[in-house]
Amino acid sequence: MSLRLATFNVENLLTRFDFTGFRNQLRQDRVIKLFEVNSEGVYQQLEQARVIAATDDTRQMTALAIADADADILCLQEIDNMAALQAFEYGYLFRMVGNGYRQKYLVEGNDSRGIDVAVLMREKTRDGQAIEVRDVRSHAMTTYRDLDLFDEELALTKRVDDKIFKRDCLELDLLIGGRPLSLYVVHFKSMGNARDGLDGRQSTMPIRRAEARAVRRIIEDRFGAGHTGKKSFAICGDMNDYQERVDVIGRRGAGYRFEHQDEAESALDVFSHDGFAENVVRRRAALDRWTLYHARGPQEQWLCQLDYLWLSPDLAAHNTGRLPDIIRSGQPYRTIFPPGQEVERYPRTGWDRPKASDHCPVVMTLDLP
C-alpha cells in the first residue's frame, strides 16, 4: 500500500480584513499607496474591495497546486481558522477538483496574526486503505522551561516561560491501512529584521533551533531516545530555514547563472547532523531542491528550500530510490527557474501576483513499513 503525503504553505488563508495599514504604512498594500486616501472609512472600503477582488484568482491557483499534489494527507501552514479551511476546501478544492478532504484538524496556536498549521486528510488512500486518526495533540503551550531548552542565546530575546513554538507543533497519531504513522506539523519562526549586527536569518536562528530541538525532544519522549530510528514518523512544514541555497546571479535581459552553496549553519542541523531524520528533498539534484525564490534586487536573489518532509530513518529506508515532487506551476512569473526546470503556469498567474503562493507544495508517495 502507498500513501501520498504533502506539505504546503498556502500564505494567509484569512477570513478577516486587516485595516491597520491606514495608520501603519509598512502594513499598507502597495496598490493603495498609489492613491490619496484621507478617510479611514474609505480606506477600509478600498481594502475590502482589493482583498476580495484578488483572493478568488489566488485561491483558484492554490487549489490547483493542491490538486496537482494529489495528496492523501496534506499538511498546511498559514490557515486563519477552521472556518477559513472549511470554506476553502468546499468552495475551491471540492468545487474545482471534485474531490475534497473530509477530515480536517486545526488547533489555534501562538501566532500574533492568527495563522495556524492544519491537516487535511482523505478517509481512504488512493488504493483504498483507511486513514484513521487515533490521537491529535497540540504543543502550542509548551515552554522552554518544560523541555529544559532555555540557553544564553535565547535569553537575549526570550524568557524561560515563553512558549517555544511561534505557531504550534501539531502531533497526529494515525493508522494507515492498520499501519502506524506519526505526523508532526510545524511552521517555524520566520526570518526577521537584522539586529545587533546580524542579518534577519542569523538573528532569529536561535528561536528556530529551539523549535527544532523541541520537535526532536517531543519525538524522543514519545518513542524513547535512541529508539526513534525504527519508528514511522514525518516532520512536515515550513521551517523558514535552509541548509543550502542556489544563488541567482545576473539581471533580466542579460541572463543568469546559478551557483549552489551549502550553508555553514542552519537550525535544521538538529535533525540531520546525526541522522535523526532525512530531508528527502535532498534526493533531488542540487539545483532542483528549492521551494521558494527570494529576491531583494539583483544583488540578493536566490532559490532555497523552506518546505520540508523529514522522514524517520526507517520510513526513509523503506522508500529508498523514491523522489519527492515539488509543484511549481503556481509560482509567479518573477521567479527565476534554472535551465530545464520551467513549467507551465496556471491561468491568470501574474508577474508577482496573483499566484498560488511564494511556496511550492512538496509531496511524496510513501510505502509504510
Instruction: Give pLDDT, residue 142.
Output: 98
Instruction: Give pLDDT, residue 252.
Output: 86
Give the tens place of pLDDT for each residue, 336-355. Answer: 999 999 999 999 999 999 99
Give the tens place of pLDDT for each residue, 164-203. Answer: 999 999 999 999 999 999 999 999 999 977 777 788 899 9
Among residues 207, 215, 212, the alpha carbon closest in space to that of 150 is found at: 207
If phi > 0 it is left, if psi is from -120 to 50 it is alpha, else beta; for residue 330 that is: alpha
d(CA 289, CA 283): 8
Instruction: Give pLDDT, residue 200.
Output: 82
Cβ-proximal residues to 55 (8 Å cutoff; 6+ apart), any chain: none
Instruction: Give pLDDT, residue 195.
Output: 74
Cβ-proximal residues to 253 (8 Å cutoff; 6+ apart), any chain: none
Task: Tell me which of 184-198, 214-228, 306-320 is least confident.
Answer: 184-198
Instruction: Give pLDDT, residue 96.
Output: 80
d(CA 3, CA 234): 12
Parallel, antiparallel, or unpaired for β 2-13 and 362-367? antiparallel
Backbone angles phi, psi at 95, to 5 degrees: -70, -35
DSSP 158-175: --TTSBS-SS-EEEEEEE
Instruction: Give pLDDT, residue 10.
Output: 98
Instruction: Give pLDDT, residue 239.
Output: 98
What percentage of the chain carries pLDDT values higher than 90?
91
Q: State the average pLDDT over residues 323-344.
A: 97
- Reduce the secondary structure of 316-328 to three states and give it as a string: HHCCCCCCCEECC
Task: Tell me which of 8-12, 21-25, 179-183, 329-333 is least confident.
Answer: 21-25
Instruction: Give pLDDT, residue 26.
Output: 87
Residue identified by cell 521551494 is 291
pLDDT exceeds cutoff 80 at 293: yes
Instruction: Give pLDDT, residue 198.
Output: 81
Most confident listed range (23-27, 111-115, 263-267): 263-267
DSSP 136-152: EEE-TT-BHHHHT---H
Instruction: Give pLDDT, residue 193.
Output: 75
Q: State the average pLDDT over residues 252-265.
A: 94
Reduce the DSSP state of residue 253 to 3 states and report it.
coil
What percentage of the chain carries pLDDT values higher than 70?
100
